[in-house]
Amino acid sequence: MADTDPKPMTIDGSDQNLALARSQYLTRHEVLTRRSRRVRQLARVYRDQMEKVKAKYRDYYWVYGKSPFKEDEKKTIGLESGTDGAGENGRFGVGTGDVEGKCAVAGCKAKAMPLMRLCHAHIPSDSKQKVYTGCTYVIMSAHAGPILCGKPVLRSTIPVLCATHLQKSEKYLKQALKKQGLNVTSPSKLVLKFHMMVTE
């Protein structure tokens, strides 16, 4: 409720203004000083207000996954043109999840990504999305097959490893190369060729 009930603003230099309040004439210097002081304060207030609006807009966009201004524009265009299906959402695998914006996976309480039904951890399980894939690092070998890490990684990343497992793999690669007699100071130079190398 603190945002809705703003505190009254005090004008900079109000003590000087009280001293000059009863004078009939002010010098040019006094007038310019008062005006410049008030303009600077007003500019500061506008900047602070703009930062608050930016933060609120960013929060709204994160929660609802769309701009409030674009939705208002679409509503007015849809009403004017009378187009069937104007404002429909959820096509092509893009949806907003439930009303609170929670992940659609049962038991997950994380916030869904904007314009998606799933959170960042569960995004590889969506068959319709084409951007992310799961990390292919083998955590454990089981009778049914290897158990993979599965953390979301951009599909274009080579090798398909999350940041943690990429560092681990580089460390293991450096140790293997050192064991074979190749002393490499920086394994990050090998990352480009890493996916082509055969593990020991």
pLDDT tier, 51 (very low <50, low <70, confident <90, very high otherwise):
very high
**In the chain, helix, strand, coil percent, each to 5?**
45, 10, 45
pLDDT of residue 85: 46
pTM of the model: 0.41
- pLDDT level of residue 98 (50, 70, 90 thresholds): very low
Name the pLDDT band for 68 (thresholds 50, 70, 90): low
- What percent of the chain has pLDDT above 90? 8
pLDDT at position 92: 38
Range 7-22 average pLDDT: 70
pLDDT per position as a tens digit, 105-160: 888 888 888 777 888 888 888 888 888 888 888 888 888 888 888 888 888 888 88
Q: Element (H or E) spanning 140, and its range?
A: strand 138-142
Return the axis-axis angle of helices 28-64 and 68-81, rounded to nearest 10°.
70
Q: Please say whether the beta carbons of 39 and 11 come within 8 A.
A: no
187 touches 171 (CB < 8 A): yes
Pair 188, 170: CB distance under 8 Å: yes
The domain segmentation of the chain, as residue ranges, is 14-64, 101-129, 131-177
